[in-house]
Amino acid sequence: MFRSYYEEVDISPCSPANIEKREFGFIEFGRGMVRHKSFKDENELGQYLKANSPSDAYYSSAYYSDPETTMEKKGWLGADLIFDIDADHIPTTCNKIHDEWTCEACHFAGIGITPEKCPVCGGQKFAAKTWLCQECLDSAKLETVKLLDMLANDFGLGEKDVHVFFSGHRGYHVHVESKSVLELDPVARKEIVDYVTGLGLNIGPNNIAGKTPSKAALQKMPRLSDIGWRGRLASQMHSFILRAEANDLVNIGVKRRAAETLIQSKDSVLKSWNDIGSYGPAKGAGPETWKRIAESCFAASTSKVDTVVTTDIHRLIRLTDSLHGKTGLRKVEFPVSRIDDFDPFKSGVAFKGGRVTVSANDVPEFRLGGETFGPYKDCKVDLPVAAAVLLICQDRAEIVDEHVQ
């Protein structure tokens, strides 16, 4: 099916800019990783894909004078700024249901997000079994929306410079292709990562996100009119208070009496926002209450990106419109303005017709192309090709009848 896709679909219009200066890498069925390849144009790349039908196709975020030689001789000319937002790095309620990991050293197993080190032996290599569901991709989309807002409003990047993609698996990619980022070194890119993740953020005279401010300092806290993180935090706090009920405040650590008092005086608090652009002391809501609100709103305002990807000036990133080897779904670009209504389970589907019988094992309920399937447990099932490919790529099904109807 991968071969038929690359034989039938022309992905050359989605090839990266300055293709002759990019390094390409491919994971080929039965051969593993092949890299340090280059192509003079889109047609040559297309012919390679048709001839080899890889499970995964990548190109470098970097531009090189000689992409095919060894890394130290390539001649780095610059690199796009890449962000990877993946559900693997975002805590959700669903990953404790469908994600599992096993330490390859001591075989200790757990559920949820794979840790950096094994809690038993300290090992760093794991066999992970993950799944992609609506909650996973909704959480990744939310983080992507926050990132796009920062790139536009805090960094001043226009839509022509920013490209957003569904990765084909459990998240989204954001590419910044602009002369303003081209020559940034890893240290500069780390500064950008620190900004969007809020690392080391110190807001206000008394660091409201991490220390209880005095009542006098409350008057100097972030205002709606402030730029950057001060205005971002002020806006998030204003929105939170506007819609909050007492239980919402209790859930973030505010004492019940203080929460109820603040809700009762919500109108005057919001009037303060409207009159002076910030909040002032409210009866019954002391500095500790505001500290709790600020901490919660700060956490909700950051964007959880993969920090390693953005700082890597030689990174290989998945080729647009190519298939993802773990799902059989496409990496799809879409306009920034469409992100709210973008549906990866429809737009990412590569195979539109045919059905095939598979033996499915331990498959959660899932949605694909407008249909809902499963759950399946040790049974044979007739599925659309796209759904069957997804299960096979996820090692949750095997072919029973190779004939596609």
Can you tell me which residue has the tokens 């505001």? 290
Q: What is the pLDDT of residue 290?
A: 83
How far apart, in whole angstroms, are the C-alpha atoms of residue 147 and residue 26? 29
Residue 204 has pLDDT above 70, yes or no: no
Residue 285 has pLDDT above 90, yes or no: no
How far apart, in whole angstroms, are the C-alpha atoms of residue 233 and residue 295? 9
Instruction: Check: CB of residue 334 under 8 Å from CB of residue 342.
Output: yes
Give the percent of the chain with pLDDT over 90. Answer: 71
Confidence of residue 205 (pLDDT cuts 50, 70, 90): very low
How far apart, in whole angstroms, are the C-alpha atoms of residue 131 and residue 139? 14
Closest CA to 351 of 397, 380, 388, 392: 388
Over residues 359-395, the pLDDT tens digits come to 999 899 999 988 999 999 999 999 999 999 999 999 9
Residue 209 has pLDDT above 50, yes or no: no
How far apart, in whole angstroms, are the C-alpha atoms of residue 305 and residue 307? 6
Cis amide prior to 287 (ω within 30 degrees): no
Over residues 35-53, the pLDDT tens digits come to 999 999 999 999 999 999 9
Instruction: Check: CB of residue 277 under 8 Å from CB of residue 238.
Output: no
Confidence of residue 218 (pLDDT cuts 50, 70, 90): low
Instruction: Check: CB of residue 205 under 8 Å from CB of residue 214.
Output: no
Q: What is the pTM of this model?
A: 0.91
Over residues 232-257, the pLDDT tens digits come to 998 999 999 999 999 999 999 999 99
| 132: DSSP letter | -
Over residues 123-154, the pLDDT tens digits come to 999 998 888 889 999 999 999 999 999 999 99
Q: What is the pLDDT of residue 92?
A: 83
Q: What is the pLDDT of residue 219?
A: 60
Over residues 82-114, the pLDDT tens digits come to 999 998 888 888 877 888 899 999 999 998 888
Element (H, E) at 358: strand 355-360
